[in-house]
Structure 1
Amino acid sequence: MISKLDNKTLAVHLLRISFGINFLFHGIVRLPNLEGFVTGMQNTFQNTLLPSFLVTPLAYSIPFIELTIGILLLINKYTKHTLIGAFGLMNVLVIGSSFAQKWDLVGLQATYIGFLFLLFYFTEEKTVKTY
């Protein structure tokens, strides 16, 4: 089956799977210690302009969003919409990291955005060929 895929299609599948694993495990490892993750986020943003009434609900939702994005990328369902959601999440994270002045994280997140762009750009409009 793999031998029937052209290099571009195979590369898109491999990148989608890699990002799926990445997002999935970001969510999975945070869920058992969700309270710790939320507390860490609250502490990170306590001396910034971001109010806790925005930070706290977002911190609770991030692992579930990551988990959902990861699963959907791995099973290749709603890929276009999932990638748009991943862009949205990454932009929210860039905004938060900027408020916290964590420029190293902003750079890493920009790298994610660049690879998400490539994945989105090379994913076929209708569906990715699977043969």
Structure 2
Amino acid sequence: MRNTNIAYLLARMPIAMSMLGHGLVRIPKLVKFSAGIEKQFTNTMLPHALVYPYSIVLPFLELLTGILLILGLFTRFANILGVAIVLSLIFGSTMLEKWDAVFTQIIYGAYFALLYLFADHNRYSVDQLITGNKSNLV
């Protein structure tokens, strides 16, 4: 049983670092990042009124997801949030017809789903410190 708990921690960390990194590098250059996203979506059916706010919020959601997963805090929620982010990215990629990006994003989505599925093994986490032997938070 201990090996599966360690394996879960080891599986949680790479995607946590990826999400943390996505948010961390984008937030300091948020205006430039947002302008780049807006430019990408200029010739799609998505209106500026949706693209602009999304491009501002996305890095903060990525950062939040990364922090929660690194800590193992609200882990189930963080995985659901991760899937929601990936679903929005998949939708955007389909609007841009970037099918190679969709494939990578599907892998991210599956990764989050598997972390959610096996969250009972999330023993090395803040969730575990808070709840003890009870089910993970959320």
Q: TM-score of the superposition, structure 2-length normalised?
A: 0.86
Among 100, 110, 113, the residue aligned to 1:114: 110
Name the structure 2 match of 1:53. Answer: 49
Q: What residue number does 1:78 align with?
A: 74
Q: How far apart are residue 120 of structure 1 and its match?
A: 1.2
Aligned to 1:101: 97
Q: What percentage of aligned pairs have identical amino acids? A: 34
| Alignment match, 2:123 | 129
3-state SS of 1:50 partner: coil
Structure 1 residue ranges without an equivalent (≥5)? none
Alignment partners' CA distance in 2, 1:13 and 1:52: 39
Task: Select which of 12, 18, 30 maps to 1:16.
Answer: 12
CA distance in 1, matches of 2:110, 2:22: 19
Matched to 1:41, the amino acid is I
RMSD over equivalenced CA pairs, Å:
1.4
Q: Return structure 1 stretches of 4+ with deviation > 6 angstroms.
A: none
1:89 to 85, 95, 99: 85
**Partners of 2:113 and 2:80 in 1: CA distance:** 10
In the TM superposition, what is the alpha-carbon distance from 1:116 to its structure 2 partner? Answer: 1.2
Letter in 1 for 2:40: T
Q: Distance in 2 between matches of 1:16 and 1:118?
A: 10
- The number of residue pairs the alignment matches comes to 125
- Counterpart-to-counterpart distance in 1, 2:101 and 2:58: 16
1:43 is aligned to 39
